[in-house]
């Protein structure tokens, strides 16, 4: 299975492609559109979100609402044209953005050119691909959910996330009622205060982290055949491709405990092999172990600052301030959709790799037959 994303931030459209998707999968456009709307939301999003009202166009690989086995192509139009001052050549890079590193590689003098690919606009296509993957996973009773765990210095204690895993549906509703996608009302309120008191007041930006869970994941998905393609290797690769991500952690975050404390003991309950806890985060040796997958993702603060940092004009080498270009103050709430998307894409790939890629019904039968025979 292969995923591709193309399109310029201020060109006519963004496009996502999935190759190797089985035939017979029903794809619901409304469900994709709801995810696109979720990606546009969140306290601290920039002006571009008022310009766009994202909606998907399924342009290939679907016949009468069902996949045909051909590549599925999802298109999202862009309403925003280039900002007015982007028409002037820009030679001053923003520290932390891709301006300087892309200039060093591609050697085009107008730094505006790099914004087309380095803008997070392409994540609209990622959210659309992720929604298809989530629709695929529901057939296998697998569900993927993301929540904001921290913004700036305000964070959710891990014990609350243990509580949340006992009743995902209730917390999803609470998350969707929060302006910052944090399901704990009082902490959500503190996060909003943090955005107002720090990001808005100081004309700066804030980073944070998300927790992403996958439930209903059977043990034995993935493979150790290619060590660079193990499920945890792929989590590193796919999650790190999301803009602003600087770190990804699987399972229990405090690794200062002993081996005795860290490993998850086996137990046998109601005819099922289980664990007494889940520090491994659902993956052992690169293969799923049947517990919830738990991924923490760390986002740096967005690099475009209204109160700009020192920079250098790459042409004249004169010291100057970095330019301010329309941007977001905080993207962590929106990023919950993206971490869900990449985790769903990885799990869809593992199911297709393990159980064949021709027809969804045949894959479903093979999958449930294996696990009912193994009593898992």
Stretch that binds ligand EPS, among 63-71, 121-129, 192-200, 338-346 (CB under 6 A): 121-129
Stretch that binds ligand EPS, among 116-124, 133-141, 214-222, 316-324 (CB under 6 A): 116-124
Stretch that binds ligand EPS, among 118-126, 205-213, 341-349, 350-358 (CB under 6 A): 118-126
Nearer to ligand EPS, 117 or 370 (CB): 117
Q: Which residues contact 275 (CB under 8 A, 6 or more apart)?
A: 264, 265, 266, 267, 289, 291
Out of 11, 20, 46, 77, point to the residue binding ligand EPS (CB under 6 A): 46
Least distance (Å) between residue 111 CB and ligand EPS = 12
| Token output for 278 | 């889940």
Contact map string, positions 264 to 293, toward ligand EPS, x by CB under 6 A? ------------------------------
Q: Which residues contact 164 (CB under 8 A, 6 or more apart)?
A: 147, 171, 183
Please state, in angstroms and rounded to a whole number, the distance separating the CA atoms of residues 149 and 210: 5
Out of 155, 326, 364, 366, point to the residue binding ligand EPS (CB under 6 A): 326
Please state, in angstroms and rounded to a whole number, the distance separating the CA atoms of residues 207 and 199: 10
Residue 347's CB: how many other CB atoms inside 10 A? 26
Out of 113, 192, 302, 330, point to the residue binding ligand EPS (CB under 6 A): 302
Q: Which residues contact 163 (CB under 8 A, 6 or more apart)?
A: none
Q: Does 248 bind ligand EPS (CB under 6 A)?
A: no
Q: Does 119 bind ligand EPS (CB under 6 A)?
A: yes
Least distance (Å) between residue 216 CB and ligand EPS = 30
Nearest to 304 by CA among 100, 119, 94, 98: 94
Contact map string, positions 75 to 114, toward ligand EPS, x by CB under 6 A? -----x----------------------------------
Out of 112, 123, 297, 311, point to the residue binding ligand EPS (CB under 6 A): 123
Least distance (Å) between residue 207 CB and ligand EPS = 12
Contact set for ligand EPS, span 158-177 (CB under 6 A): none
Please state, in angstroms and rounded to a whole number, the distance separating the CA atoms of residues 331 and 327: 10
In the chain, alpha helices (H): 29-40, 48-51, 99-106, 112-118, 123-138, 158-164, 168-176, 185-194, 231-240, 259-262, 332-355, 360-373
Contact map string, positions 206 to 245, toward ligand EPS, x by CB under 6 A? ----------------------------------------
Out of 327, 329, 339, 341, point to the residue binding ligand EPS (CB under 6 A): 327
Nearest to 196 by CA among 300, 329, 325: 329
Q: Does 181 bind ligand EPS (CB under 6 A)?
A: no
Residue 1's CB: how many other CB atoms inside 10 A? 17
Please state, in angstroms and rounded to a whole number, the distance separating the CA atoms of residues 200 and 222: 44
Binding positions for ligand EPS, rule: CB under 6 A:
9, 46, 48, 80, 119-121, 123-124, 302, 304, 326-328
């Amino acid at each position: 299975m292969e995923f591709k994303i193309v399109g310029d931030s201020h060109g006519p459209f963004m496009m996502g492609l999935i190759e190797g998707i089985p035939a017979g999968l029903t794809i619901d456009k409304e469900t994709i559109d709801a995810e696109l709307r979720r990606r546009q939301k969140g306290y601290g999003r920039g002006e571009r979100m008022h310009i766009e009202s994202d909606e998907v166009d399924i342009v290939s690989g679907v016949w009468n609402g069902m996949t045909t086995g051909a590549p599925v192509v999802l298109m999202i139009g862009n309403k925003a044209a280039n900002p007015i001052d982007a028409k002037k050549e820009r030679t001053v890079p923003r520290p932390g953005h891709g301006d300087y590193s892309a200039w060093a590689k591609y050697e085009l003098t107008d730094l505006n050119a790099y914004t087309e690919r380095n803008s997070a606009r392409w994540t609209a296509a990622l959210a659309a691909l992720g929604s298809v993957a989530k629709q695929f996973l529901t057939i296998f009773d697998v569900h993927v959910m993301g929540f904001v765990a921290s913004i700036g210095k305000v964070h959710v204690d891990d014990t609350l996330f243990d509580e949340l895993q006992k009743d995902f549906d209730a917390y999803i509703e609470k998350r969707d009622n929060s302006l910052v996608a944090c399901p704990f009302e009082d902490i959500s309120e503190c996060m909003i205060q943090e955005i107002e008191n720090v990001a808005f007041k100081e004309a700066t930006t804030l980073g944070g982290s998300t927790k992403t869970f996958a439930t209903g994941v059977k043990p034995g998905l993935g493979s150790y055949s290619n060590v660079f393609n193990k499920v945890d290797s792929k989590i590193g690769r796919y999650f790190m491709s999301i803009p602003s991500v600087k770190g990804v952690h699987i399972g229990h975050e405090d690794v200062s405990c002993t081996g005795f404390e860290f490993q998850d003991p086996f137990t046998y309950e109601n005819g099922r092999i289980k664990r007494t806890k889940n520090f491994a985060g659902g993956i052992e040796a690169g293969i799923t172990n049947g517990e919830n997958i738990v991924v923490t993702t760390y986002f740096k603060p967005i690099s475009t600052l209204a109160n700009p940092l020192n920079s250098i004009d790459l042409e004249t080498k004169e010291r100057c301030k970095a330019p301010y270009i329309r941007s977001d103050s905080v993207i962590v709430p929106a990023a919950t959709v993206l971490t869900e998307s990449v985790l769903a894409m990885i799990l869809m790939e593992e199911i297709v790799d393990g159980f064949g890629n021709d027809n969804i019904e045949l894959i479903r039968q093979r999958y449930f037959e294996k696990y009912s025979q193994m009593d898992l």
